[in-house]
Amino acid sequence: MNILILGSGGREHAFAKKLVESKKMTKLFVAPGNAGTARIANNILIDPTDFPAVKKAVLENQIQMVVVGPEAPLVEGVHDFFLADESLKDIPVIGPKKDGAELEGSKDFSKKFMFKHGVPTAKYQAFTKETLTEGQMFLETLNPPFVLKADGLAAGKGVLIIDNLQEAKEELADMLTNEKFGAASSKVVIEEFLDGIELSVFVLTDGKGYKVLPSAKDYKRIGEGDVGLNTGGMGAISPVPFADADFIQKVEERVVKPTVEGLQQDGIDYRGFIFIGLMNIGGDPYVIEYNVRMGDPETEAVLPRITSDLLDLFEGVATQTLASKSYEVDPRTATTVVVVAGGYPEAYEKGHFITGTENEEESIVYHAGTTMKEGKIVSNGGRVLAVTSFGEDINSALEKSYRTIDKISFEKMNFRKDIGFDLI
Ligand code: AMP
Ligand code: GLY
């Protein structure tokens, strides 16, 4: 089978590595990909949200399945585009259509969905410019800290958690009337603060059946001890030790089943991943958010643990036979440490030569923001590499990732040396 992966990060390199292991794989393409995917697949230098360019690439290369990495093509309707096109409509797309992608594309939509289908989540109300005063009055009824969320996609930056009531009222006004986060904050969700420990659970569904994939915890802040600015993610651990069988059972019963059944009831034919951001509050799961894709860097810790053929699972999604597919997981711990460009997540430099990525004796070195220049690997993004290792426990896996990173070098590289610190 010829496959096209859309995207260019560590997540997509992890998909690529897993898919090339499949006996069913013929030719693999990644658009646009990175220096890591270039070694094991064919990169096609197009923008994944340029659907006519995607169509051309699919037809030219006899692609038989498309796997969508990031949310943007999904929210913009790449799956719907395929279904509406005579020459593409029979090519399966792994990733929901626009209606399902609203679970990530609109916080208001996802909160309404959760309440309608009885999925545990924080209480909330949504406000627009016209209802700013009501929004400020609603804030007065809540206890701090106050959680304000831009309704639309804001590149992971649209959530504010504020201790002071006056400041929260001003931020609400800033979001609604000045469009602080662009059109994404023309509607704002205000919700109750959930006090617990965060983790993520991933689900693959064909719209009828599902597989609950391994849990993971990511480390979003740039600084050690979880301080400083938010990033795309600086590391991940899978599985999450406190997410034991009992907890995962609760997640499946209270969250996964009502979510998959709710999508069916609402007439949303969802084929793809659901990334469930959870808060564990005293052993009970509450949903913080849905994403309609896998996480990055969580994928780099979760996918290597799946020992079954990923392409076989994707075929199950495409043909709605996922329930009958075999699915097995390596019980060991996987740890991922992300190596970033100095300065990230603020302004950073690109184009630095990278050495040492071939040292994969103890780890898998996934490429994220890398590209080839004059035959050499150079940095091309904020998050540059993601180094994953296995171990019997978190510490033994981390030691390997850090040893591998010691052999990697590029100007001003940076990484957190405390991934998993709260779990050990
Ligand atoms: P989101 O984009 O919805 O995932 O929110 C970003 C981050 O804000 C989450 O990963 C949480 O750490 C935090 N957060 C979001 N909603 C809440 C909430 N209701 N209570 C506490 N923390 C939250
Ligand atoms: N690491 C968080 C995300 O992919 O959204």
Mutate to test the pocket of ligand 2, among 107, 153, 201, 218 (most ligand atoms within 8 A of CB): 218
Is residue 108 in contact with ligand 2, taking CB distance under 6 Å?
no
Query: How many whole angstroms separate alpha carbon 420 and alpha carbon 424?
Result: 6
Phi, psi of 383 (to 5 degrees): -90, 120
Residue nearest to atom 4 of ligand 2 (CA): 295
Contact in structure between 401 and 389 (CB atoms under 8 Å): yes
Q: Give the pLDDT score at 184.
A: 82
Is residue 171 in contact with ligand 2, taking CB distance under 6 Å?
no
Q: Which atom of ligand 1 is nearest to the CA of 194?
A: 20
How far, in Å, is the centroid of ligand 1 from the Cα of 229? 14
Q: Give the pLDDT score at 198.
A: 95
Looking at the domain covering 2-98, what would its CATH class be? Answer: alpha beta
Residue nearest to atom 2 of ligand 2 (CA): 295
Residue nearest to atom 3 of ligand 2 (CA): 295
Domain extents in the chain: 2-98, 123-191
Is residue 191 in contact with ligand 1, taking CB distance under 6 Å?
yes
Is residue 226 in contact with ligand 1, taking CB distance under 6 Å?
no
How far, in Å, is the centroid of ligand 1 from the Cα of 24? 39
Q: Which atom of ligand 2 is nearest to the CA of 11?
A: 4
DSSP 70-104: SHHHHHTTHHHHHHT-TTTTTS-EES--HHHHHHH
What pLDDT tens digit does each residue of the chain (424 aa) get?
999 999 999 999 999 999 999 999 999 999 999 999 999 999 999 999 999 999 999 999 999 999 999 999 999 999 999 999 999 999 999 999 999 999 998 999 999 999 999 999 999 999 999 999 999 999 999 999 999 998 888 876 788 999 999 999 999 998 998 888 877 878 899 999 999 999 999 999 999 999 999 999 999 999 999 999 989 999 999 999 999 999 999 999 999 999 999 999 999 999 999 999 999 999 999 999 999 999 999 999 999 999 999 999 999 999 999 999 999 999 999 999 999 999 999 999 999 999 999 999 999 999 999 999 999 999 999 999 999 999 999 999 999 999 999 999 999 999 999 999 999 8
Query: How many whole angstroms separate alpha carbon 220 and alpha carbon 218?
Result: 6
How far, in Å, is the centroid of ligand 1 from the Cα of 159? 7
Q: Which atom of ligand 2 is nearest to the CA of 218?
A: 1
How far, in Å, is the centroid of ligand 1 from the Cα of 424? 23
Measured CA to CA in angstroms, residue 200 lies from 76, 221, 298, 383 at distances of 24, 16, 9, 20
Helices (H), 107-197: 107-116, 132-141, 165-177
Q: Does domain 123-191 have CATH number 3.30.1490.20?
A: yes
Of the candidates 24, 9, 11, 91, which has an alpha carbon nearest to the alpha carbon of residue 58? 91
* Closest ligand to the CA of 275: 2
Is residue 142 in contact with ligand 1, taking CB distance under 6 Å?
no
Beta-bridge partners for 371: 378
DSSP 344-372: TTSS-----B-B-TT--SSSEEEESSEEE
Query: How many whole angstroms separate alpha carbon 347 and alpha carbon 261?
Result: 43
DSSP 177-233: HS-TTGGGGSEEEEEPPP-SEEEEEEEEE-SS-EEEEEEEEE--EEETTTEEEE-S-
Residue that is written with structure tokens 């033994």 in the block: 396
Mutate to test the pocket of ligand 2, among 103, 273, 291 (most ligand atoms within 8 A of CB): 291
Q: Give the pLDDT score at 225.
A: 96
How far, in Å, is the centroid of ligand 2 from the Cα of 159? 14
How far, in Å, is the centroid of ligand 2 from the Cα of 274? 12
Beta-bridge partners for 148: 160, 190
Mutate to test the pocket of ligand 2, among 221, 288, 298 (most ligand atoms within 8 A of CB): 298
How far, in Å, is the centroid of ligand 2 from the Cα of 411? 26
Q: Give the pLDDT score at 391.
A: 98
Beta-bridge partners for 93: 66
